[in-house]
Structures are given as structure tokens and as C-alpha cells.
Chain A
Amino acid sequence: MSRVLAADTMPIRSEGDIVGVRQLVRQHGAAAELSLVEQTKLVTAASELARNTLLHGGGGKVEVESVEEDRRRTIRLSFIDSGPGIEDVELALTDGYTTAGGLGLGLGGTRRLAGEFEIDSVPGEGTTVTVRFHTRVRG
């Protein structure tokens, strides 16, 4: 039995939106009573992925959803763009790999922060990166 506690969608079109995504995701994390460290990881992951969507995907949107099932809460973030896509996903996940002149920690680093990490990319069509953070509901 799962229950959706909250669901939001937000466009990512500018750098200001990255800050907006952080704030939205922080609200979800606080409502799900994530520990401080988990919350920090969640918001940091959101920030990294939102910037990826903007810089590599040419903008897009994020879906944020908090779900409760079997005394466990899950926050799902999906970053969706219709940009050029990623040719070699494994390579893109390697630390230090960068096409935008950054540190190249965006994807690989985010994978280490999240409980679950999925990437779905079709060259020429776009990329969807989904991360999930889990927390147990305190009895």
C-alpha cells in the first residue's frame, strides 16, 4: 500500500531555478523527516542534477514526489530534459568526466549520495535522471 504525500513539478530554465529546486526539495525532505545529513545529501543531489539539466539538457523540468509505503517514506526526484542525450552513460558516470568544464562530479557524485540512482538517456531525444532517498517512519 503506498500513499502519495506530495507531488510537485518545476521548470528548470535558468540559474535562479536551481535555487528554486533546492528550496522545493528541502521542503519535501523536511516534511518526510529525513535526518539532517540525509536532507543535506538530498538537496545537494538536487542541486547537482538541476544544474546538469540546465547545462547539458538545455533546460527541462523536475518532478518531486514524496510517497509513504510500509512505514517507509521515499522522495523521488526525476530530472527530465529533451536535450542531446548522453552517448556513453557509463563514461558520464566516471568521476572527473566533464563536458561543461566543471569538476565532473555531477552524475558520479550524485549516484553516491542517493539511495537509488537511474539514468535513462536516448541520444538526440533527451535524458531522465531519477534518484530516490528513503527514510523509515519513526514509530
Chain B
Amino acid sequence: MNALPLLRIGDVLLVSIQTELHDELALRFQRELAEKVADEHIRGVIIDISALEIVDSFLGRVLHDIAATTSVLAARTVVVGMRPAVAITLVELGLSLHGLRTALNVEAGLRQLGIRRLDVSGEAR
């Protein structure tokens, strides 16, 4: 079973993290995502963290590593929906997440991946 449900829209993967992840689960998610991106020729990944009340340095690193790995696999990752309190805390913690693409919400994330609209069939254009 997958660590987290991955929703495929065209050649974009959408993941919404709805529960607190413990470390091992976060690492499994990282592995599975990389495999899926490689196997299925994914072009973009959107990780929605708007439900997360905290992101600590461990999860921050996992997100950063996912972005770096997918980039090697020729896909782009956008992390969307980080809450203000989480962002302030990460800055204080000293985690800058350089090179990580971010967007306010899923729509803005899709736009950043160059997808303007979605067909009824779910095909991304």
C-alpha cells in the first residue's frame, strides 16, 4: 500500500498530506514518489501541505530532497499551501529550503507547472 494517496492528473502527480507523518512514513513516501515519477514519466509534482500544523527540520529535509530528486528525474515539484505560522517557524529554525518551488495553493501550483486548465477527462494541457 502507498504511504500516501497519489492522484494523477495528466502527467502531474498531486499529493495532499492530510495527517502528521512520522519519520519512517515520510521516507517511504519519498521513495515511492521517486519511483512513480521515474516509471510513469511524470512532469510535475504538487505536494499540498495546507493541512500540516507543523513542519520540522526532518520533514523539511524530506520535501527538499523530493524536489531535488524529481528534478534529476526531469520533473518539477511545487510545495503548496504552507501555513504562515509554519513558514515563520521554519525561518526561525534556520531552514531556508533554497531551490524549493512553492505556491499559495494547488491552482497556483498548477499554473507554476505551466498548466492553465484541466480537461473534463482529467488531461492536463
Q: Do chains A and B touch in the complex (CB under 8 A)?
A: yes
By a beta-carbon cutoff of 8 Å, the part of chain A in contact with chain B is 15-16, 18-19, 22, 26, 36-37, 39-41, 43-44, 47-48, 51, 95, 102-103, 105-106, 108-110, 112-113
A-B pairs with beta carbons under 8 Å apart, 12 shown: A15-B22, A15-B23, A22-B20, A36-B85, A37-B84, A40-B54, A51-B56, A95-B94, A105-B95, A106-B57, A108-B94, A110-B93
Residues B61 and A102 in contact, CB atoms below 8 Å apart? yes
* Size of the chain B interface, CB-CB below 8 angstroms: 22
Chain A residues with CB under 8 A of B85: 36-37, 39-40
Set of chain B residues within 8 Å of A110, measured between Cβ atoms = 93
Beyond the given pairs A37-B88, A109-B92, A112-B93, 19 more chain A to chain B contacts, judged by CB atoms under 8 angstroms and listed by A's residue number, are A15-B23, A18-B22, A19-B20, A37-B89, A39-B85, A40-B83, A40-B88, A44-B89, A44-B93, A48-B57, A48-B93, A51-B23, A95-B94, A105-B93, A105-B94, A106-B57, A108-B94, A112-B94, A113-B92
Closest to B20 in A: A19
Q: Is the interface of B mostly helix, strand, loop or mixed?
A: helix
Closest A-chain residue to B91, C-beta based?
Answer: A112
> B20 and A109: CB pair below 8 A?
no
Q: Does B32 contact A (CB under 8 A)?
A: no
Query: Smallest CB–CB gap between A38 and chain B, Å?
Result: 9
Q: Tell whether A41 pairs with B94 under 8 Å between CB atoms, given A15-B22, A47-B56, A51-B58.
A: no
